């Protein structure tokens, strides 16, 4: 089928996620046809460096034959069976064991889901159930953060702090409260980063006191906010948050959907920040995105209560621990271990990206550059000295994103923050290419913006 026909059918029948349906219908989609390594290819013959690893998930890169073979073998052996009604199957058991080996020592159980959103729905029910079993049924409030992303199901988006999502399709799940995010460049520049980190932790304490400590079940956060804009908190933030949560006996849920599986140079982002989460939702990099699978890693404190005191937990999905997805995830983790992918991100690729990425700090359009492991961000600014932002109506970030795409690089924009999270298998040479494509796109964005402003 010709790409123009495919595009017409796409416009006629396909409602895309996070998309203005009408605008896309008029413009037409880019059709991605195949991929290898860190590159995707489209139907017009372009080869594009995927600086976002799909949606932060293709950690091992595209075209890994071992993952295809694991899926094929499992499809022949047992394409589907569930884990309900006292049954299990080898891939789910082996994956559970592997995950618990990789997770911090106090985590020894996993509940499987089909996605990150379902993992966060599971979290919400688990933490409230935990406190009910502990004889504290009023501990129901969950504190999250503004601009957090925890998924698109009703619970996921209620836990998330994205105002445009909250504005559609409510009402939200009750008893979820959002506090300010530790986004120093965007919201904290009247203080030092260290002081601002503490201010944000104090905001959590203030909210706990407002809601009443006996009513607060958990605090949920990503180690580094991904979809919010690759926001690495100031160094003072997590130690102060840990203290606050311990003081009021509040569970810590660390959403590892993006940061898990090597993105920050550790198996889990929690390990980078020395956190001991009670629950860790996971997905994406778990299978390098080859098949959909997620889960919740459950720490001993919660698991023991649910097991010993809980009776039946009325919760589960048809695809919880799907055998083919589990087999692929297991193979994915085995390859990551065998190839030392996580250590390479920590010791080699992360530092290399940081050095190359920092060279963009000189660019007149760039107000801040940051990176951790293989996640990076650039803040676009209208004035380099004052670091003032562009007028929102200019949509500078989207302009830069479109220029990047047209010139062979996927870089995402969140407002005027440009972000990258390439596959963890990227080479030095490909990092050089990524940075030089980004620099050229910044040059063109600057030229186009100057032109628009002049008009
Ligand atoms: N949590 C975080 C931190 C995420 O980034 C995402 C997806 N971007 C989700 C949860 C939801 O995962 P999914 O899209 O698999 O439902």
Domain presence at residue 15:
no
DSSP states of 182-194 as a string? --HHHH-TTS-HH
Is 151 near ligand 1, meaning CB less than 6 Å away? yes
Atom 10 in ligand 1: residue holding the nearest Cα: 150
Within this chain, do residues 247 and 159 fall inside the same structural domain, yes or no? yes
Number of domains in the chain: 2
Asked if 45 and 56 touch (Cβ cutoff 8 Å), the reply is no
For the record, the structure tokens of 158 come out as: 């209620």
Domain ends where: 294, 324, 339? Answer: 339
Asked if 365 and 442 touch (Cβ cutoff 8 Å), the reply is yes
Which of ligand 1's atoms lies nearest the C-alpha of 227? 5
Within this chain, do residues 79 and 131 fall inside the same structural domain, yes or no? yes
pLDDT reported for residue 221: 98
At residue 325's C-alpha, the angle toward residues 320 and 331, to 5°, is 130
Within this chain, do residues 212 and 326 fall inside the same structural domain, yes or no? yes
**Residues 334-345: tens digit of each pLDDT:** 999 999 999 999
Kindly tell me the burial class for residue 66, based on how many C-beta atoms sit within 10 Å of its own C-beta (0-12, 13-18, 19 or more): middle
Within this chain, do residues 279 and 428 fall inside the same structural domain, yes or no? no
Is 179 near ligand 1, meaning CB less than 6 Å away? no
Is 257 near ligand 1, meaning CB less than 6 Å away? yes
User: Given phi > 0 = left and psi -120 to 50 = alpha, else beta, which region is 373?
Assistant: left
Domain presence at residue 283:
yes
pLDDT reported for residue 1: 85
Is 216 near ligand 1, meaning CB less than 6 Å away? no
Cβ atoms within 10 Å, residue 258: 28
Is 227 near ligand 1, meaning CB less than 6 Å away? yes
Range of the domain at 210: 66-339
Domain presence at residue 14:
no
CA distances from 379 to 146, 163, 307, 389, 438 (A): 19, 21, 46, 9, 13
Domain presence at residue 277:
yes
Asked if 448 and 442 touch (Cβ cutoff 8 Å), the reply is no
Domain presence at residue 4:
no
Within this chain, do residues 42 and 86 fall inside the same structural domain, yes or no? no
The ipTM estimated for the assembled molecules is: 0.99
Order of all β-strands in the sheet with 216-221: 107-113, 294-299, 279-282, 251-254, 216-221, 141-145, 176-179
Within this chain, do residues 272 and 401 fall inside the same structural domain, yes or no? no
Within this chain, do residues 104 and 206 fall inside the same structural domain, yes or no? yes
Is 422 near ligand 1, meaning CB less than 6 Å away? no
CATH code, 375: 3.90.1150.10
| CA gap 104, 219 in Å, rounded | 19
Within this chain, do residues 98 and 186 fall inside the same structural domain, yes or no? yes
Within this chain, do residues 334 and 349 fall inside the same structural domain, yes or no? no
CA distances from 289 to 103, 113, 436 (A): 20, 14, 27
Domain ends where: 339, 363, 394? Answer: 339
pLDDT reported for residue 452: 87
Domain presence at residue 320:
yes
pLDDT reported for residue 170: 87
- C-alpha 449 to ligand 1 mean position (Å): 33
Pairing between β-strand 39-42 and β-strand 32-36 as defined by DSSP bridges: antiparallel
pLDDT reported for residue 245: 98
Within this chain, do residues 147 and 215 fall inside the same structural domain, yes or no? yes
CATH code, 330: 3.40.640.10
The list of the chain residues with pLDDT below 70 reads none
Domain presence at residue 11:
no
- C-alpha 425 to ligand 1 mean position (Å): 22
Within this chain, do residues 331 and 350 fall inside the same structural domain, yes or no? no
* Residue of 264, 284, 294, 329 to mutate, ligand 1, most atoms within 8 A of C-beta: 284
* Residue of 150, 220, 254 to mutate, ligand 1, most atoms within 8 A of C-beta: 150
Atom 13 in ligand 1: residue holding the nearest Cα: 116
For the record, the structure tokens of 101 come out as: 């080996």
Backbone angles phi, psi at 382, to 5 degrees: -80, -30
pLDDT reported for residue 454: 76
Domain ends where: 316, 339, 362? Answer: 339
Domain presence at residue 55:
yes
Atom 7 in ligand 1: residue holding the nearest Cα: 151
pTM of the model: 0.98
Atom 12 in ligand 1: residue holding the nearest Cα: 116
Give the list of residues 6+ apart from residue 244 with CB closer than 8 angstroms, or none.
201, 202, 204, 205, 208, 250
DSSP states of 14-82 as a string? ---TT--HHHHHHH----EEEEEBTEEEETTS-EEEETTHHHHT-TT-B--HHHHHHHHHHHHH-S---
Indicate the SS3 state at residue 145. strand
Query: H-type helices in 340-415, by residue range?
Result: 341-344, 350-358, 396-406
Within this chain, do residues 315 and 450 fall inside the same structural domain, yes or no? no
| CA gap 17, 242 in Å, rounded | 35
Which of ligand 1's atoms lies nearest the C-alpha of 151? 11
376, containing H or E segment: strand 375-380
């Amino acid at each position: 089928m010709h790409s123009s026909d495919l595009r017409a059918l796409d416009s006629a029948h396909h409602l895309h996620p996070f998309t203005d349906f009408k605008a896309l219908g008029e413009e037409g989609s880019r059709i991605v046809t195949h991929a290898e390594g860190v590159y995707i290819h489209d139907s017009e013959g372009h080869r594009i460096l995927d600086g976002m690893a799909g949606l932060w998930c293709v950690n091992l890169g595209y075209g890994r034959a071992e993952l295809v073979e694991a899926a094929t073998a499992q499809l022949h052996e047992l394409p589907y069976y569930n884990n309900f009604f006292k049954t299990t199957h080898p891939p789910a058991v082996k994956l559970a064991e592997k995950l618990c080996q990789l997770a911090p020592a106090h985590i020894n159980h996993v509940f499987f889901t089909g996605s990150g959103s379902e993992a966060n729905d599971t979290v919400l029910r688990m933490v409230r159930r935990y406190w009910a079993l502990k004889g504290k049924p009023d501990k129901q409030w969950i504190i999250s953060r503004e601009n957090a992303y925890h998924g698109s199901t009703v619970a996921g988006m209620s836990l998330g702090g994205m105002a445009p999502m909250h504005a559609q399709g409510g009402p939200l799940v009750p008893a979820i409260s959002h506090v300010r995010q530790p986004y120093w460049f965007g919201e904290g520049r009247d203080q030092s980063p260290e002081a601002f980190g503490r201010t944000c932790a104090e905001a959590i304490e203030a909210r706990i006191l407002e809601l009443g400590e006996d009513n607060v079940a958990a605090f949920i956060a990503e180690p580094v906010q991904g979809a919010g804009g690759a926001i690495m908190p100031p160094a003072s933030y997590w130690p102060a948050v840990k203290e606050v949560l311990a003081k009021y006996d509040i569970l810590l849920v660390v959403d590892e959907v993006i940061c898990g599986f090597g993105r920050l140079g550790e198996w889990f982002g929690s390990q980078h920040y020395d956190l001991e989460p009670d629950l860790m939702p996971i997905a994406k990099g778990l299978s390098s995105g080859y098949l959909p699978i997620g889960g919740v890693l459950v720490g001993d404190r919660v698991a023991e209560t649910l097991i010993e005191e809980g009776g039946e937990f009325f919760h589960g999905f048809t695809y919880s621990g799907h055998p083919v997805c589990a087999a692929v995830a297991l193979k994915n983790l085995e390859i990551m271990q065998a190839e030392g992918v996580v250590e390479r991100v920590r010791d080699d690729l992360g530092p290399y990206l940081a050095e190359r990425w920092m060279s963009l700090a000189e660019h007149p359009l760039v107000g801040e550059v940051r990176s951790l492991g293989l996640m990076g961000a650039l803040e676009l600014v209208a004035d380099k000295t004052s670091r003032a932002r562009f007028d929102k109506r200019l949509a500078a970030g989207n302009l830069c994103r479109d220029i990047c795409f047209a010139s062979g690089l996927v870089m995402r924009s969140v407002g005027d923050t440009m972000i990258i999270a390439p596959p963890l298998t990227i080479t030095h040479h490909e990092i050089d290419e990524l940075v030089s494509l980004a620099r050229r796109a910044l040059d063109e964005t600057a030229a186009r913006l100057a032109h628009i402003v002049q008009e």
